[in-house]
Amino acid sequence: MDKITRDDLYSLEKYSGMRREFRSRVMQHKKNRRLPIGPNATLYFEDRLTIQYQIQEMLRAEKIFEAAAIQEELDAYNPLIPDGRNWKATFMIEFEDAEERRRQLGKLGGIEGCVWLKVDENALIEPIYDEDLERHTEERTSAVHFMRFELTEADASALKQGAGLSAGISHERYNYTVNPVPSAIRDALVADLD
């Protein structure tokens, strides 16, 4: 996928006028990019449109209009766009109650390394996570992690030919599998591949 440039972004004024429609389109698009794994963990798969939306919202919220500051946002967010051979996702551990969330994060140390994807009977695809900064310790994890799943040529080819996709988390205190990944999500992810 192509990276986003300043030419791809809307001015603050133009975005203000079209924000409701653009947001609605992005929210609809995101429905096929959200994969719950068990009751409290979700992978949100990013692509060019989801990242453009995040950039537009950041520019709007911070009232950023200067070229250098816009470029800083592009430099921060563009690495989250998959490159056609991988999938990039935001992994969130979600508990509504803040105190419960704090307790659970203390019990789920290392969970970010226990997430996996799998194409049919091929080897597990384990994530490369938190490349931006440390978000965990051995005893505790963060509620948000950034992940990159690198696919082999065999995985990508099999998916394009209709192979199934499964996902899961194999942590001693949080163990769930999604098999198969719903077809609408699988199809959206396959469309991201070169």
47, 185 contact by CB (below 8 A): no
90, 44 contact by CB (below 8 A): yes
Give the model's pLDDT for residue 1.
Answer: 76
Helices 183-191 and 153-160 meet at what angle, rounded to 10? 120
Give the pLDDT confidence of 6-52 residue by residue, as tens digits: 999 999 999 999 999 999 999 999 999 999 999 999 999 999 999 99
Provide mean pLDDT across the span 140-146.
Answer: 89
Q: Distance (Å, rounded) from C-alpha 58 to C-alpha 46?
A: 16
4, 56 contact by CB (below 8 A): no
Q: With a cut of 80, say whether residue 152 has pLDDT above it.
A: yes
Q: How many CB atoms lie within 10 A of CB 39?
A: 10
For residue 130, the SS3 value is coil
**Percent of the chain predicted with pLDDT > 90:** 92
Q: Distance (Å, rounded) from C-alpha 147 to C-alpha 88?
A: 6
Categorize the per-residue pLDDT at 140 as very low, low, confident or very high, splitting at 50, 70 and 90. Answer: confident
Give the model's pLDDT for residue 135.
Answer: 53
Q: Please give the backbone phi and psi of residue 138, each rounded to the nearest 5 degrees, phi first.
A: -65, -30
* pTM, two decimal places: 0.91
Q: With a cut of 80, say whether residue 157 has pLDDT above it.
A: yes
Locate the domains of the chain by residue range.
Answer: 6-191
**Percent of the chain predicted with pLDDT > 70:** 96
Q: With a cut of 80, say whether residue 133 has pLDDT above it.
A: no
Q: Give 140's contacts (C-beta < 8 A, 6+ positions apart).
A: 105, 106, 109
177, 166 contact by CB (below 8 A): yes
Contacts made by residues 84-87, CB under 8 angstroms, sequence distance 24+: 84/1, 84/192, 84/193, 84/194, 85/150, 85/151, 85/156, 85/193, 85/194, 86/148, 86/149, 86/150, 86/151, 87/45, 87/117, 87/148, 87/149, 87/151, 87/189, 87/192
Q: With a cut of 90, say whether residue 156 has pLDDT above it.
A: yes
